[in-house]
A and B are shown apart, each in its own frame.
Chain A
Amino acid sequence: MSVQDLTNAIISGINAGGEQFLEGTLAAALPVIWLVLIGLHVGRPYILDMIDRFTLRLGADLLWLVYIALRDFLMISGVVMSFMFFFPDVVVTDALPLTGGLAAAVLFAVLLVKLMGDPDRNLRDFRLVTILLAIGAALYFIPYLLGVQANLPFSSAMVTNTNPNWAVAMSYISIALLAIFGAIAAIYAIRTGGRAEVPDTTTTNS
């Protein structure tokens, strides 16, 4: 083996190892993010109850703003960190939960409901967000616990690199869902011009 061979071997080791370390770290952080964001969503009545006890309006406003900023930022982070589920090469190589991409698409749907609806005021929207979060968490945690973190007879079917055909198919379905939801969000933003409500186009100038 020449010095150049050794250099090349170490370079490829650093690159492959670094990439897998990065993806592994993201994969390890995702369950924590899912748990915390569900905890924050479920903890809404507790926060509202605490807000009522504030004697100063400023404290109440700040608590509510910090709560929703943290909750929504975690949702955005969840979608962003799940981006590896949309890369066919990554899902074929790494041991990831099979339906993780679908969970990310469902999480994006939650953000879409928040954009177009009003889950903090409208009960129907709140219930929709809660159901979507429950579905997303199930899609993430079931294959994660029973597939990636267990050695059961059916575990290999739930892990992406031991079931690559299904993993790539799931990846494409998730990409399609994300593209549809993204297009809806973009059309909504263009229609409203970034305002909170859609401007009334039926009104005529008098």
Chain B
Amino acid sequence: MKPDDIANAITQALIQGGSQWLISTLVAFLPALWTMTLMMHLGRPYVIRTLRRCGLRLGADIWWMSYLLIRDALMLITFAVSWIFFLPNVVSSAALPLTGPLAALLLLLALAVKLSRRVDDDIQAYRLSTIFLVLGATLYYGAQVFAVEATSQSYLAGFGAFFTSNSNVPVALGIMWVSLAGVVIVALWLFVRVWVSATRSMSRRLASEQEPAKREPMPAAR
């Protein structure tokens, strides 16, 4: 083997290995992101209890704003990282949880509930988004813990082979395409909703701006 061959081998290995490592790192961080998302969402009663004890409005506002930012940003980041489950080549080559795309779809549904209803004021909306999140997390954790991360356990071999994407490619791709269709539908619905809502609110504002200003009444005597 010549030095050029070795250099090429190392270059290719760094590119391919780096790409695989990036994917596996993202997948490895997803349980952490899912857990943080769930904890922040379920911890709302505790956060409100703490909020009520703030003596000043400023402290309460800072506390509530930080909570909302972290909670919702975590949900968004978890969904963004879960996008890896919608890449057909990655699904068929890497060991990913089979139900990962469904979990991502349920996470998007929880986000859609937040975007379309006032989850922080409406108990039913909060319950609905909680149910979506818990179902999504269960679908993700089950396959991740007992299939992808349990290859060393021979008695889980059947379960592992079924619920790991690269050892059950046809089913994995089927679930991925169905979930992707669901994501597209939800995204389209959100897009239309934002479009209609923005058009309504902005046209109302424009109409009020274009309306001629009422003349000041002239005093009868100066």
A140-178 interface bits toward B, Cβ cutoff 8 Å, 1 = contact, 0 = none: 000000000000000000000000000010000001000
Cα A196 to Cα B24 with chains together (Å): 39
User: Is A182 an interface position by the 8 A CB rule?
Assistant: yes
Q: Which residues in B have some Cβ–Cβ distance to A below 8 Å? A: 1, 5-6, 8-10, 12-14, 16-18, 20-21, 24-25, 28, 31-32, 35-36, 38-39, 41-46, 48-50, 52-56, 58-59, 62-63, 66, 119-120, 123-124, 126-127, 130-131, 134, 145, 149-153, 156
B25, B55, B130, B149: the one contacting A22 at CB < 8 Å is: B25
Instruction: Please count how many residues in chain A sit with their CB below 8 Å of the partner chain's CB atoms.
Output: 57
- Given contacts A88-B152, A194-B120, is CB(A7)–CB(B9) below 8 Å? yes
Q: Which residues in A have some Cβ–Cβ distance to B below 8 Å? A: 1, 3-4, 6-15, 18-19, 22, 57-58, 60-62, 64-65, 68-69, 76, 79-81, 83, 86-90, 92-93, 111, 114-115, 118, 120, 168, 175, 182, 185-186, 188-190, 192-197, 199
Minimum Cβ distance to chain A for residue B13 (Å): 3
Is there contact, CB below 8 Å, between B50 and A68? yes
Is there contact, CB below 8 Å, between B9 and A115? no
24 contacting pairs across A/B (C-beta < 8 A): A1-B1, A3-B8, A6-B5, A10-B9, A11-B20, A14-B13, A15-B20, A22-B25, A61-B55, A61-B56, A61-B59, A65-B50, A69-B63, A69-B66, A80-B31, A86-B145, A87-B145, A93-B152, A111-B39, A115-B45, A186-B134, A188-B42, A194-B123, A195-B44
A65, A120, A192: the one contacting B45 at CB < 8 Å is: A192
Is there contact, CB below 8 Å, between B9 and A57? no
Contacts of B21 in A (CB 8 A): 14-15, 18-19
B14, B41, B53, B149: the one contacting A189 at CB < 8 Å is: B41
Is there contact, CB below 8 Å, between B58 and A80? no
Cα A8 to Cα B8 with chains together (Å): 12
